[in-house]
Amino acid sequence: MDVDRLSLPKGISGFISGVASVPRGIGRVLSDAPLRKLALIPLLITAVLYIAAIVALVWWGADLLDWAWPKPSDGWLKWLWYVVLPLGILLIVVVVALLFSTVAEAVGGPFYDRMAIRVLEGEGIPAKDPGLLGGTIPDILRSLLFVAAAVGFGVLSFIPVVGIPFAVVGTAIAWVGLAAAAVNPALLVTGYGIGGRLRFFLRSLGALAGMGLAIGVVLLVPLAGLIAIPGSVVGASALYARSRRAP
């Protein structure tokens, strides 16, 4: 197997596989006792972070939108504002989710690595714990790069008229960032370096987009959002294992 050419499923089927991997992973965490035990500590920690993220979004989201682009009083800009508004809200929600994912990854990284190892070894794929220096710290930097890119496009999205494409691109970057955080433990424990993981992400954009969309949606569901991160790690690891088995 040439790991330099390995990727998640591509195209529309890849997008659908990415979407489906998240609920499958959540279901597996709920039904597999060892995975539930591994998920328990990061789940308790991220519960606090999750509640804080939701409260911050509700409390400051509207003010942020109004500060970025106050509602025009009349004319065609008023109608354009109504078009940009839902896109801006969506982007803010996804960026908050990505920030939440980054912090959750920082506190739960070692546990997510062990969850990926359990899934992969169950599929007969050798894996080993990368340790703190090889895993968690570089991954925080990777996640922050996605956050910075999504926020940058988010700021540009509030430019009247030309901002809509920036909102779409920013949302897509944030979705891929969420998915990259989910599949990253599987790549890490199977020996991918930083460059190898980046190339894998670039080869797997369709599946990552679907996975990120599903994670973002689940994060918005009360209570279900608490298990979105560990569930997506398990689902992404299983999808990665399937890709390794493919001829």
What's the average model confidence in pLDDT over 127-148? Answer: 71
The conformation of residue 96, written as its DSSP 8-state character, comes to H
By percentage, how much of the chain surpasses pLDDT 90?
Answer: 22
11-20, 189-198, 202-211: least confidently modelled range? 189-198
| Distance in angstroms (rounded) separating the CA atoms of residues 54 and 49 | 9
Taking alpha carbons only, the member of 10, 40, 42, 1 closest to residue 239 is 10
The residue with greater pLDDT, 77 or 203, is: 203
pLDDT at 75: 67
Helix, coil or strand: residue 69: coil
| 57: confidence class by pLDDT, cuts 50, 70, 90 | low
In order of 35, 38, 111, 114, the CA distances from 105 in angstroms are 16, 14, 9, 13
| 86: confidence class by pLDDT, cuts 50, 70, 90 | low
| Distance in angstroms (rounded) separating the CA atoms of residues 167 and 139 | 25
Which residue shows structure tokens 């979004």?
A: 57
Structure token pair of residue 245: 């088995």
By percentage, how much of the chain surpasses pLDDT 70?
Answer: 67
**Does the pLDDT value for residue 77 go beyond 80?**
no
